Chain A
Amino acid sequence: DIQMTQSPSTLSASVGDRVTLTCRASQSISSWLAWYQQKSGKAPKLLIYKASSLESGVPSRFSGSGSGTDFTLTISSLQPDDFATYYCQQYNTYSTWTFGQGTKVEIK
Chain B
Amino acid sequence: EVQLVESGGALVQPGGSLRLSCAASGFTLSSYWMSWVRQAPGKGLEWVANIKQDGSEKYYEDSVKGRFSISRDNAKNSLYLQMNSLRAEDTAVYYCARVYYDFWSGYYPQHWGQGTLVTVSS
Contact = CB atoms under 8 A, between A and B. Distances in A.
Contacts of B80: none
A91 B106 contact: yes
Given A44-B45, A95-B59, A100-B44, A34 B108 contact: yes
A97 B110 CA distance: 14
B105 interface: yes
A46 B109 contact: yes
B46 A32 contact: no
Nearest to B99: A94
A21 B10 CA distance: 36
Given A43-B112, A43-B113, A91-B107, A96 B47 contact: yes
B76 to A, nearest CB: 22
B27 interface: no
A62 interface: no
Q: Which applies to chain B's interface (DSSP): helix, strand, loop or mixed?
A: strand
A102 interface: yes
Contacts of A100: 44
B105 A99 contact: no
Contacts of A55: 110
Given A50-B105, A53-B105, A100-B44, A44 B50 contact: no
Interface of A: 1, 32, 34, 36, 38, 42-46, 49-50, 53, 55, 87, 89, 91, 94-102
Given A49-B105, A49-B110, A94-B99, 20 more contacts: A32-B108, A34-B109, A42-B114, A43-B115, A44-B45, A44-B109, A44-B112, A46-B109, A49-B106, A55-B110, A87-B45, A89-B108, A89-B109, A94-B101, A94-B107, A96-B61, A97-B109, A99-B44, A99-B47, A100-B44
14 contacts: A34-B108, A42-B114, A43-B112, A44-B37, A45-B112, A46-B108, A46-B109, A46-B110, A53-B105, A89-B109, A94-B99, A97-B35, A97-B108, A100-B44
